[in-house]
A and B are shown apart, each in its own frame.
Chain A
Amino acid sequence: MTKYEEFLVEKGLFITAILSIIVIILIIGFIFQQGFPAMEHVGILKFIFGMNWSPSDDQYGVFTMIIGSLGITALSLLFAVPLSLCCAIFLAELAPRTVRRILKPVIETLAGIPSVVYGFFGLIVLVPIMRVYFGGTGFSMLAASLILTVMVLPTIISISEDALRSIPVEYKEASLALGATHWQTIRNVIFPAAIPGIITAIILGMGRAIGETLAVIMVAGNVAQIPNSIFDPVRALTSNIALEMGYATGIHYSALFATGIVLFIMIIILLIIANYFHYKKKVVIGGGYL
């Protein structure tokens, strides 16, 4: 092989490497370019904080959907975080070897089940149940949150279990050797040391919840309003795009891209927070503070 070929290979690989960045620039470029006319037409602040979404009356405000997305996400994390952390602690600390060897792959497999399937289950099982027990149509913020809870469980469990298991066994031994109980050891040593990883896990789960589209559409009811209770229907940002893109034209079409911009920015903020903790995690393992 000649030097020249080596050089070509390296340059070729370099291009594949920067492709990720090129694609991101393209995504940002195209979405902003398409969304810009609506932002300009409505005004950025009016678009974000406007309470009324009514394309036929030329009203484009996505605030109710921002609240819808955040509300569904917050509620689902409220259910999912305690359950998945307890489950992660169970897997990392308590489960006998054989139980763990079975459960871990099962949970990871379930993370790969298509979200449409979970949404479908919500539509045919959960929504009717809620209709019977809580009245109304059953399509609600709560139904969406419960389905998202199930969907983010595997994500949060799997990553926080890794974080818990990466805590050096020496910490655990030191604590037990001092006469601490296993629970005291988990609460005072293992869990605090794993917090950066656990926060990363929660943020990734949060990203999955905010970004989920079709499963939410299938159970949330999709009314663009600020819900009075968790039994009211809501519309998420993602749902707004998927529901209306099929027939949107002109400013309406552009406003859906602008909705995508809002969503994109929310995810970027989350990602930056996650990256901050990820960074800190490495420092802590290298011998920093807690």
Chain B
Amino acid sequence: MLNLKIMSPKMSQKIMKGVFWASGILTVLILLVIIGYILYKGLPVVNMSFIFSNPIDSGKSGGIFPMIISSLYVTFIAIIVATPLGVGAAVYLSEYAGETNLVKLIRFGAETLASIPSIVYGLFGLAFFVVYLGLGWCVLSGGLILAIMALPTILQVAEVSLEAVPSSYREGSLAIGATKWQTIYNVVLPAAVPGITTGVILGLARAISEAAAILFAVGAALSVPISIFDPARPLPLHLYILATEGISLDNAYGTAAVLVLLVLVITVVTNTLVERYSKKMMGR
């Protein structure tokens, strides 16, 4: 940190205030310029036919419809698998288990899962789902890898929101003779829904923007996947291939813009949902 001792406190106060304001503005500016640039270059490419048509000549021209379907498909599988597992684990941790060593180990496990680099997931997915289980390059392999990646996010957020449910709710239900599970199912879980939804959507956001983890699991098909055993090419992967193999800059811009828009829409929808739900819960 700057040595400001030679300056009067008032002087250093003024300087540092300027420094903090400048860094705040600079940070936001950097991030917005990047996103703004992508949207500025990409949005003109995005139109109905770009979204709804198949790529032509491995993506040199044409649209990205199969990639959008691939992204939605793998993400859907990831969320369908990860949500019950993550919420179930969170319920166990916050409602059933005490502060035992096993619980600490489970928490550490979730933390570890959350910080394993995505390429390591990619290796695991290749060795386990694709080769060992023999699923091959397909939507299912990719979806399952993404489910494992989304699991810790859902678990952690769900646990926090379950713990935030006031214990008076549980006592009220138990006092009228409900069993523990009835109490959890009818009282605790509904009260934690906004938090859990946030967790699920965060997991979803992580899954939809992932490329490295599914690099060796989904294949690189250019057609729309129908069955879960079909190969696929989700959007981030498509962008990576278009950009690094120099296939089409325009289509890369368009794909990037669609990805950015997807993430923005997901965030806005979550925020609105959660706000509306918590207002309803508060009786307003």
Contact = CB atoms under 8 A, between A and B. Distances in A.
B38 interface: yes
A120 interface: yes
Contacts of A26: 124, 128
Contacts of A181: 9-10, 12-13
Given A17-B89, A20-B155, A117 B239 contact: yes
Contacts of B132: 30
B73 interface: no
Of the listed residues A5, A21, A26, A246, the one surrounded by the most CB atoms of chain B closer than 10 A to its CB is A21
A10 B20 contact: no
Contacts of A110: 31, 35
Nearest to B2: A187
Of the listed residues B127, B244, B266, the one surrounded by the most CB atoms of chain A closer than 10 A to its CB is B127
A157 B267 CA distance: 18
Interface of A: 1, 5-6, 9-10, 12-14, 16-21, 23-24, 26-27, 30-31, 33-34, 82-84, 86-87, 89-91, 93-95, 103, 105-110, 112-121, 123-125, 150, 153-154, 157, 180-184, 186-187, 204, 207, 210-214, 217-218, 238, 241-242, 245-246, 256-257, 260, 263-264, 267-268, 270-271, 275
B106 A114 contact: no
A16 B92 contact: yes
Interface of A is mostly: helix
Interface string B243-278: 110000100100010011001101100010000000
8 contacts: A1-B182, A13-B89, A21-B106, A106-B32, A109-B267, A150-B30, A257-B123, A271-B112
Given A6-B181, A267-B117, 4 more contacts: A103-B24, A117-B239, A157-B27, A184-B13
Contacts of B21: 90, 94
B118 interface: yes
A113 B35 contact: yes
Nearest to A153: B27
B28 A1 contact: no
Contact of A117 (B116, B126, B259): B259
Contacts of B17: 94, 182-183
Contact of A263 (B12, B13, B120): B120
Interface stretch (B52-60, B167-175, B211-219): B211-219
B271 A105 contact: yes
Contacts of B108: 275
Given A123-B243, A207-B115, A213-B117, A86 B23 contact: yes
B205 interface: yes
Nearest to B23: A86
Q: Which 9 A-B pairs have the closest CB atoms?
A: A211-B117, A114-B209, A16-B88, A86-B23, A90-B24, A13-B92, A213-B212, A20-B109, A17-B92
Nearest to B178: A1
A170 to B, nearest CB: 21
A214 B242 CA distance: 13
A20 B151 contact: yes
Given A109-B263, A118-B34, A271-B115, A19 B85 contact: yes
B162 to A, nearest CB: 12
A258 B206 CA distance: 26
Contacts of A242: 119, 122, 212, 215
Given A103-B28, A267-B116, A112 B267 contact: yes
A260 B123 contact: yes
Contacts of B282: none
Contact of B111 (A187, A213, A245, A275): A275
